Amino acid sequence: MVLLVSTFPLAFIQPANALIFLPMPFQNWTKSSSNPILVPGADWEDWDHFGVSRPVALMGDDGNLFLYYTGQRKSRPFTAGGIGLATSRLQYDRVVFTKYSGNPILTPGSPGSPDSEGALSPVVVHPPGGGYTMYYEGYDGIHRRILRATSAGDAYGPWVKQGVALDVGWPGSWDAVSVYHPTVIYEPGAGWRMWFAGYDGTRRCIGYAASPDGVSWTKLTGNLNPVFSPQFGAGTWDDYQVEDPAVVKIGGLYWMYYLGSGSGAPRSGIGSAYSENGYEWYRFGTIFGSPPMITPGASGDWDENIYAASVFPLWTWFWESSLCLGMYYSGGNWLNEAGGIGYAFVSFGASGSPLFLDASQGGTYFINGDPSVSQYTAYDSLSAGILYGLSKNPQAFGFDTSASWVTQTGPDKGRLLLDGKRVITMGGYGSNFVENYYENTAYETGHSCVKGYCGSPIHVRINTNTQAYEFYERRLSTVVASMPMSTDFTHNDLLVIMVVRPFDVPGGTGNDVLIIYGITWRGTWAGGIYYKDMFWGQLGLYGSHFFVGYDYIILQWTDTNGDTYPTSNELFPIAYGN
């Protein structure tokens, strides 16, 4: 009755220590088989014939994906370059680009200007209120500085240079020779934030600056800058240089991808770090920091050297969203040092789910089973209310009987009629049409989905032979959790927190879906509590960042104090996967 009516469950385990059951965080990036996705111009006279590199992506208002990049022409010195643009209208793969016929959109300046010998490493911001702002690296033959340009029209331009936005530091400082390769985020209510590389003539580090208007920038003062430096200890992969940051905010955390190189390993790689405030950074992975996320290709490959890696995670459309990240990066080899731009992607799994609560007003839909149909779903709304209370903006809240949100009849009953939204739903498939669709209908009917599977990663079923509830991982065809039906569910439960990747929607982008439920209503309630206490804005050993790469987490609740009410310290992860 419990499984089929309300909410939902490895062998029943009493964990001795929560830390034993936490997953090892990892990011398993996959390079696209289409790489390189952008190559230098074929003709000797092409402005980017000598190389394309340092990409940054932006979703335009017209549905185009804009890829800004640095191009180099052989007739100029190697360091000189201009900025070009390529676009893609493909909904799903993001690897087929067409170079803009008006390239280059920004060129080096006249002799004596701060970008006379090169305009490169762009980042473009499209803040609310219209207009586009570009920050880019200008080179005058001696120093690199961060310059600013604006477009009052669209993402193509025309671009008007506005001068130096961030200058080099005083003599003897960590960024006295160059500041370069900016990455910028505009946060409504908080202003503009910039991370950049700095060079003192000896080593390269990453610094931070802030601005109220995007025009006047102030570097972090005192010993706080640089905010990210090479690792201590010889022999680590990034103990020599760190540079070329790319920062994206997911939930309560900032994630930075950076180029690193080691004193004993001259080939560079791309690493990852996270921060709660943007200037105190922790290397992702083990206590000593993980190995690089992206490594150079084999000898002779187009990306044998990631000599000027410049990355930008994508997470605002399709499966580069809360569930996955995409990355564009630079590569080259001995034959062509700036050989092209590549693409890679990774599952961000449940780690990205705080974005559901960061959505703009009405961007997330809370959809539960209708209490007028099943009284048990009232408890599911209790759990949903916990997450709703964490939302930064008012969101849509309703039931699966809404004909404008959910398909009400036919073989696809429960399928969402929304597109490009984030959806949170609580409760098992017996009482929730939406959850039933993702856990049963979608998987069985084979709707076209990302990574070759559809529906929820976990299916919960009753095994009548063993008289147990089973959590079944479909892709592995394995029971990863079970609990006897004879369990005292007033003091014990198993529950799942899982994310569903968007379906391929013709002409659309699909929806991200977060599902939480337990064997009983207490398990669903516990899921909301665990999400609030452990996922939302927490660092250390717990927190959403710990679940990068995992699309589901199964938790066990054991009522250690005997009051029949779940608390976060009574919940332990016991299974997880992607």
Q: Decide: residue 110, CB within 10 A, 0-12 exposed, 13-18 middle, 19+ buried.
A: exposed
Ranking 75-79, 205-209, 351-355 by mean pLDDT, the lowest is: 75-79
Check whether residue 255 and residue 228 sit in a common domain: yes
On whether residue 532 sits in a domain, the answer given is yes
486-509 in b/e burial notation, b at 16+ Cβ within 10 A?
ebebebbbbbbbbbbbbbbbeeeb
| pLDDT, average across residues 441-460 | 69
**Confidence bin at 20 (pLDDT 50/70/90):** very low
The pLDDT of residue 263 is 82
Residue 65 has pLDDT above 50, yes or no: yes
Q: List Cβ<8 Å contacts ≥24 apart for 430-433.
A: 430/3, 430/4, 430/5, 430/6, 431/4, 431/5, 431/6, 431/369, 431/373, 431/374, 431/376, 431/377, 431/380, 432/368, 432/369, 432/377, 432/380, 432/400, 432/517, 433/369, 433/400, 433/401, 433/406, 433/408
Of 509, 531, 503, the closest CA to residue 518 belongs to: 531
What percent of the chain clears pLDDT 70, i.e. is strictly above it? 86
| pLDDT, average across residues 137-144 | 96
| CA atoms within 13 Å, Cβ hemisphere of 505 | 19
CA distances from 236 to 70, 112, 118, 242, 405 (A): 30, 41, 33, 12, 51
Residue 537 has pLDDT above 70, yes or no: no
Check whether residue 71 and residue 212 sit in a common domain: yes
Of 55, 42, 106, 41, the closest CA to residue 80 belongs to: 106
Check whether residue 162 and residue 302 sit in a common domain: yes
Check whether residue 149 and residue 248 sit in a common domain: yes
Cβ atoms within 10 A of the Cβ of 14, count?
9
On whether residue 552 sits in a domain, the answer given is yes
Distance CA 422, CA 323 (A): 11
Return the amino acid letter for 257. Y
Check whether residue 107 and residue 207 sit in a common domain: yes
Check whether residue 341 and residue 404 sit in a common domain: no
- What is the pTM (predicted TM-score) of this model? 0.88
On whether residue 553 sits in a domain, the answer given is yes
| pLDDT, average across residues 41-59 | 90
On whether residue 572 sits in a domain, the answer given is yes
Distance CA 556, CA 472 (A): 16
Distance CA 139, CA 309 (A): 18
Question: pLDDT tens, 151-204?
Answer: 998 999 999 999 999 999 999 999 999 999 999 999 888 899 999 999 999 999
Q: Decide: residue 137, CB within 10 A, 0-12 exposed, 13-18 middle, 19+ buried.
A: buried
The pLDDT of residue 539 is 43
Range of the domain at 265: 43-349
Of 218, 217, 184, 178, the closest CA to residue 198 belongs to: 178
**Confidence bin at 130 (pLDDT 50/70/90):** confident
Ranking 7-16, 412-421, 465-474 by mean pLDDT, the lowest is: 7-16
The pLDDT of residue 237 is 87
On whether residue 37 sits in a domain, the answer given is no
Mark which of 328, 349, 370 sits at the end of a domain. 349
Question: pLDDT tens, 392-404?
Answer: 899 999 999 999 9
Return the amino acid letter for 276. E
The residue whose two tokens read 């020779």 is 177
Residue 235 has pLDDT above 80, yes or no: no
Question: pLDDT tens, 293-347?
Answer: 899 999 889 998 887 777 665 544 444 555 778 889 999 876 656 679 999 988 8
CATH code of the domain in which 135 resides: 2.115.10.20
Q: Rounded mean pLDDT of the chain?
A: 85
Distance CA 123, CA 110 (A): 22
Check whether residue 441 and residue 335 sit in a common domain: no
Check whether residue 482 and residue 367 sit in a common domain: yes
Q: How many separate domains does the chain show? A: 2
> What is the helix, strand, coil percentage profile of the chain, to 5?
10, 35, 50
On whether residue 34 sits in a domain, the answer given is no
The pLDDT of residue 505 is 59
For 115, which DSSP code? Answer: T
Mark which of 349, 364, 393 sits at the end of a domain. 349
Question: pLDDT tens, 487-508?
Answer: 999 999 999 999 987 765 555 6
Residue 9 has pLDDT above 80, yes or no: no
Return the amino acid letter for 222. G
Check whether residue 173 and residue 318 sit in a common domain: yes
| pLDDT, average across residues 2-14 | 39
The pLDDT of residue 45 is 85
The pLDDT of residue 374 is 83
Check whether residue 327 and residue 392 sit in a common domain: no
On whether residue 83 sits in a domain, the answer given is yes
Check whether residue 339 and residue 359 sit in a common domain: no
Ranking 225-229, 432-436, 499-503 by mean pLDDT, the lowest is: 499-503
**Confidence bin at 76 (pLDDT 50/70/90):** low
On whether residue 372 sits in a domain, the answer given is yes
Higher pLDDT: 221 or 482? It is 482
Q: Which residues have CB under 8 Å from 33's CB, separation 6+? A: none
- Residue pair 84/48 in contact (Cβ under 8 Å)? The answer is yes
Check whether residue 467 and residue 508 sit in a common domain: yes
The pLDDT of residue 236 is 82
